[in-house]
Amino acid sequence: MLMTYSIGETAKKMGMSTSTLRYYDKAGLLPFVERSAGGIRMFNESDIGWLGLIECLKATDMPIRDIKSFIDWHMEGDSTLEQRRDMFYERKQAVEAQIEALKKTLNTINYKCWFYDTAVAAGTADVHIHMDPADIPEKIKNLKEQM
């Protein structure tokens, strides 16, 4: 017998709200979720796997309408394999770009941590104005160049 979960159990299991699950359903992202005779959603392990994929795609900033297209392609079957594959390569490129942007952000934050550590130790933010470039750690110089 296939184990099923209520919307509340599924929401808890996924770490999301029931309103998010209802929104996904209304947006057409859950066409595979079965309903009881009374219209209550009954989620199974496969559905929970799909929800994990939806959350993954959302984390890449993929719009809901594009996630719906992917799900529609899946429902259409093997004739859409190339479209689905291409979509994942596009997502891969988007995530790689996000990672690069986050690396630059982290470099700026790391530089500012050093900057303020040095300023706090000296008691003034002007310490850097008079600092000999030879006193700036190589790692910090590299961070500054990568910002």
Instruction: Name the residue ranges covered by the structural domains of the chain.
Output: 1-76, 95-147
Separation CA 87–CA 75 (nearest Å): 15
Residue 1: per-residue pLDDT: 64
CATH assignment of 1-76, given 1.10.1660.10, 1.20.1090.10, 2.30.30.100, 3.90.230.10? 1.10.1660.10
- Residue 77's pLDDT is 96
Which pLDDT belongs to residue 48?
A: 95
In this prediction, residue 141 carries a pLDDT of 81
Q: At 44, list the tokens.
A: 């199974």
Question: For residue 31, what are the contacts with CB-CB under 8 A and spacing of at least 6?
Answer: 71, 75
DSSP strand pairing (41-42 vs 34-35): antiparallel
Give me the amino acid identity at 16: M
Nearest-10 crossing angle of helices 18-26, 7-14:
110
| Tens place of pLDDT per residue across the chain (147 aa) | 678 999 999 999 999 999 999 999 999 999 999 998 998 999 999 999 999 999 999 999 999 999 999 999 999 999 999 999 999 999 999 999 999 999 999 999 999 999 999 999 999 999 888 888 888 888 888 887 877
